[in-house]
Amino acid sequence: GAGVSQSPSNKVTEKGKDVELRCDPISGHTALYWYRQSLGQGLEFLIYFQGNSAPDKSGLPSDRFSAERTGGSVSTLTIQRTQQEDSAVYLCASSLESGYDYGYTFGSGTRLTVV
């Protein structure tokens, strides 16, 4: 596709339920990043992929969070047993290669609300 696509755009879930967030990067971009942003705050790094491997998952807040990427393309971020503090906008970005020599292209994000 022409841009980074994220789905759903909005998700409301009950505390304790599991959620899956999807990111479809730009075709040919080997690096994929997940960030989250709480209301009025900066971006918090979660995890990034180079191809299907995740060299850095240091930002995942707890073992309730996991992510995978298949076929060097689509990635899913899974949050198990959601808590209210998980409410945030989850942003996905892709770039041609990993590293910071390339600009990132962001998706529009998934706004997650845990009630």
Q: Which residues contact 3 (CB under 8 A, 6 or more apart)?
A: 26, 105, 107
Cβ of residue 18: shortest distance to another protein, in angstroms?
24
Phi, psi of 85 (to 5 degrees): -70, -5
Residue number with CB closer to another protein (18 or 62): 62
**DSSP β-bridge partners for residue 65:** 79
Cβ of residue 100: shortest distance to another protein, in angstroms?
3
DSSP state at residue 51: T
Closest residue by Cα to residue 25 from 78, 71, 86, 65: 71
Residue number with CB closer to another protein (4 or 21): 4
Residue number with CB closer to another protein (14 or 42): 42
Residue pair 73/25 in contact by the 8 Å Cβ criterion: yes
Cβ of residue 52: shortest distance to another protein, in angstroms?
15
Interface contacts to another protein, rule CB under 8 A: 4, 31, 33, 35, 37, 39, 41-43, 45, 48, 50, 55-56, 89, 91, 93, 98-101, 103-109
d(CA 21, CA 60): 14
Cβ of residue 81: shortest distance to another protein, in angstroms?
26
